[in-house]
Structure 1
Amino acid sequence: MKKQNKQWYRIGEVARKLDIAVETIRMYEREGILLIEKTATGQRIFTNEDLNWLRCIRKLIKEERLNIEGIRRL
């Protein structure tokens, strides 16, 4: 999906692209470490920057052994 010359992705696309469960992405949002824009109907839309941040979150958790609270403090 393109919006104003930006590439936008829906949550299912992001989950497949990054091999992350949809519920995990939603949990990151609930925990406040992922801020996602939503459409007027409440659908989450992700930019390439959001995908990069998700990759970073996963790296911090898997490689640096940070938990959600540790990431929140960054």
Structure 2
Amino acid sequence: HYAIGEFSRKCGLSIDTLRYYEKEGLIHSHRLTNNHRYYDETDIAWVQFIIRLKQTGMPIKHMRTYAKLRYQGDETIPQRLELLFRQLDKLHAQQKDIDLHIDFLEKKIKTYLGIDSSKN
């Protein structure tokens, strides 16, 4: 078991962030008889997953829904998959936009370097 300070170091998140995630329902700590929080190895994997969801740009509202479904059990896997597919679709759309921006800049750079005969 890990106290919140040690868990914070293992996850790379501040204690305040862990408390915020707990308040938002993203994580659930275990409690000792003296009401102190503790976490275990499965919590580390879950927090790493939450961090990755955040990195994908998933809104906290959807992360909260996902976490709630996860804590309800495997019967919620179809709903969780729906959330993940929705986020994946958003990332693919962003990727297309980024590819267009990259093409635009590459063409402009080629123009300035005299590689492209068309003037943009």
Structure 2 length as normaliser, TM-score? 0.52
Question: Any residues of structure 2 matched to 1:9-48 within 5 Å, and which?
Answer: 9-48=2-41
**Structure of higher CA gyration radius:** 2
Q: What's the CA shift for 1:14?
A: 1.0
Gaps of 5+ in 2: 67-120
User: Partner residue of 2:42?
Assistant: 49
Shift of 1:67: 2.3
Which residue does 1:65 correspond to in 2?
57
Distance, in Å, in 1 between the alignment partners of 2:50 and 2:61 is 12
Structure that is richer in strand per residue: 1
Structure 1: tracts of 5 or more residues without a match: 1-7
Normalising by structure 1, report the TM-score. 0.82
CA distance in 2, matches of 1:22, 1:16: 9
Q: Which amino acid aligns with 1:59?
A: R
Distance, in Å, in 2 between the alignment partners of 1:71 and 1:33 is 7
Higher share in helix: 2
Runs of 4+ displaced beyond 2 Å: none
Q: Number of aligned pairs? A: 66
- Higher RCO (C-alpha 8 Å, min separation 6): 1
